[in-house]
Structure 1
């Protein structure tokens, strides 16, 4: 993950002098008098050259970009790809050979190419409606055949086709992703461009109509995805899409709630940039990503976040920390106490522990063996279990805190109950350390 963050930082904040020294074609776009890191974003060709150079330098990709098509921003696309990786990490399937679906891949075929370059085991289906974009996407895949092999399949489709044509795939995708046309018409785009504050990092927008416009804009496009996902449900683990407008994000979340899809996530793409973009994902499985990958922190959007928080922190009481003369021993004893508590509620075959490291474990239950109702039943190991996990929690000690990650389960109250039980017992026990 550290390498991923470094890679994202490098493409988000390019070292223009370093790149220009290595790539001659970039030098004409350097402007020593510019206040924006010495790069002339006002030149319409500048983003195309920069995209090609970043793709080559950091991903060893040879991408041909035509000014008649939309120029992808590498940082945004990589951020989206890495976010999906983290979502899949929560499903415990990230190390398998994953198949993704890029809906409307565009002429650059940037998502599949980046995904396959960063993750050698990933494969992609990529759909596209524009004939010129299909040809160029295929050419870009061919130019990078040594790097990506045959792991990308371009599929021509029509406007009236379903967005997720899984019946045409040899393998069902694990996830979907999409950069939909954001606008309904050129009039809407012109008005939004006029209202947007000017920025030296905002280049002239060149693209064909199919890349910019669709009936109902990105909201209607995303609604179609949600409707189709209701038919496929858990066949695809995570459905995701980028949205380009705040009002679209608000309406999409409302639509998900209307359909009782509560396992949804929101991610701000490359936060801090002038142009705001978000990614929205939803799943019909009971897997849950980490808190940072499920929620946005901006106060004006916080109300859109999922109701359930997938990570909670248990802290050692301050009076214990102040009174402890040996912080190192306190840290060791705390995790020992945790294991002791788990042994108290261990009732085979309803409980299992996977040790990931010295201070990191995953606990799984097929019955809530810590609850009063279980103890009062008196059935113990005689209780009939389906054998299916009802809750999985990863516990990781960080200094004098325990971080609890609700990785799997459909009942959030069970996670709250389990966390509360640990917090109560640890608070009582740690006072004796």
Structure 2
């Protein structure tokens, strides 16, 4: 009697890479990174002493404290200029009208947590100096990440952008401050259908990439989101003319077809083309609802490690996702060759 064969077992699937979430368990809710220079309230007398032009924009808020009107783009720009001068030694900083004027404490947090990420790959020792090279995708007219990253850690940067006007502004900032031209290189992305391809050259090696992607899908969505934000904050006064977007911003900075989800999906797809040229890729994710799609895309493309780092600045919650295609052995060899030689 012939016994029937047992049914064939389905082929084993490659286990999904589980993203590690780095929570700030040792920090109070809403607190900045411990190394962030912007803890506590701003010292306006000290800021004004360094940048007298700020005095014209200082107001007393409803709590009786000195502040500025963050709905006034001119005030925000002068305030940023004062912060950069006092805390980072940037003597000259300016951006054209209607370009993104970034909140510096939050931008600094991203860099400090990226430094921690590199430190975890290096037995807890955060690498500093010119051996570390980072790529800022979408450097913008403000050039903020290269400025902060170089001042804090002495890293080298390449900043890419699709807009020549943004690069012209960033270049003017670099040239106006001694010592930055040797530390920050700018490259234009000539092809609007690509993000990394064409910017990363065949002989490039980057320890980090970072990105603040456009998070709206259209100009209309960006405008609606800004109005909703002011309404929720109780600041939308029909008698008062407010800017459409509180920190300004050009189209490529604020929105793209498909919004954040589609942009990051493209970034992930192209990152696989450069998996042996970059130690850690990363991007901010403003919408927590996009994380599931990000993890799925990274798993499909074969990322070997994925980490999510939660951040908070007061009431604002944010996060970034980082990934690598290198095994632990390859990471160790990278560090030995690049950082320790």
> How much has 1:151 moved relative to structure 2?
1.3
Q: In the alignment, is residue 221 of structure 1 matched against residue 256 of structure 2?
A: no
Counterpart of 2:55 in structure 1 is: 27
Q: In the alignment, is residue 56 of structure 1 matched against residue 85 of structure 2?
A: yes
Q: In the alignment, is residue 274 of structure 1 matched against residue 307 of structure 2?
A: no
Counterpart of 2:11 in structure 1 is: none
Within 5 Å, which residues of 2 pair with 1:196-211?
A: 196=229, 197-198=232-233, 204-211=246-253
Aligned counterpart in structure 2 of residue 84 of structure 1, from 95, 114, 117:
114
> How much has 1:5 moved relative to structure 2?
5.4
State the distance in 1 between where 2:173 and 2:96 align. Answer: 11
Contact 2:137 2:195 in 1 (8 A): no
Counterpart of 2:97 in structure 1 is: 67
Counterpart of 1:142 in structure 2 is: 175
State the distance in 1 between where 2:175 and 2:331 align. Answer: 46
Counterpart of 1:188 in structure 2 is: 221
> How much has 1:100 moved relative to structure 2?
0.7
Q: In the alignment, is residue 155 of structure 1 matched against residue 187 of structure 2?
A: yes
Structure 1 or 2, whichever has the larger Rg, is 1
Counterpart of 1:355 in structure 2 is: none
Counterpart of 2:46 in structure 1 is: 18
State the distance in 1 between where 2:187 and 2:79 align. Answer: 28
Counterpart of 1:179 in structure 2 is: 212
Counterpart of 2:3 in structure 1 is: none
Deviations 1:210-231, CA, capped at 9 Å, x for gaps:
1111111111111111111222
Structure 2: gaps of 5 or more residues: 1-31, 236-242, 333-341
Contact 2:135 2:206 in 1 (8 A): yes
Deviations 1:319-363, CA, capped at 9 Å, x for gaps:
xxxxxxxxxxxxxxxxxxxxxxxxxxxxxxxxxxxxxxxxxxxxx
Within 5 Å, which residues of 2 pair with 1:282-293?
A: 282-287=323-328
Counterpart of 2:282 in structure 1 is: 240
Counterpart of 1:294 in structure 2 is: none
Contact 1:263 1:284 in 2 (8 A): yes
Contact 1:12 1:75 in 2 (8 A): no
State the distance in 1 between where 2:73 and 2:87 align. Answer: 23
Q: Which is richer in helix?
A: 1
> How much has 1:12 moved relative to structure 2?
6.6
> How much has 1:153 moved relative to structure 2?
0.8
Contact 1:102 1:112 in 2 (8 A): yes
Structure 1: gaps of 5 or more residues: 288-387, 392-433
Counterpart of 1:44 in structure 2 is: 73
Deviations 1:132-172, CA, capped at 9 Å, x for gaps:
1111011011011x232411111111213442446536531
Aligned counterpart in structure 1 of residue 143 of structure 2, from 95, 109, 112:
109
Contact 2:207 2:280 in 1 (8 A): yes
Change (3 A) 1:249 1:273: farther
> How much has 1:276 moved relative to structure 2?
3.1
Residue 66 of structure 1 aligns to a residue in which SS? coil
State the distance in 1 between where 2:204 and 2:218 align. Answer: 36
Change (3 A) 1:390 1:228: closer
Q: TM-score, normalised by structure 2?
A: 0.75
Counterpart of 1:322 in structure 2 is: none
Q: TM-score, normalised by structure 1?
A: 0.60
State the distance in 1 between where 2:202 and 2:302 align. Answer: 28
Q: Comparing 40-49 with 207-216, which one deviates more in the overlay?
A: 40-49
Counterpart of 2:12 in structure 1 is: none
Residue 321 of structure 2 aligns to a residue in which SS? strand
State the distance in 2 between where 1:95 and 1:113 align. Answer: 15
Residue 73 of structure 2 aligns to a residue in which SS? coil
Deviations 1:196-249, CA, capped at 9 Å, x for gaps:
32166x972411111111111111111111111222223211000112222223
State the distance in 2 between where 1:264 and 1:190 align. Answer: 33
State the distance in 2 between where 1:65 and 1:390 align. Answer: 38
State the distance in 1 between where 2:73 and 2:141 align. Answer: 18
Q: Give the total of aligned pairs.
A: 284
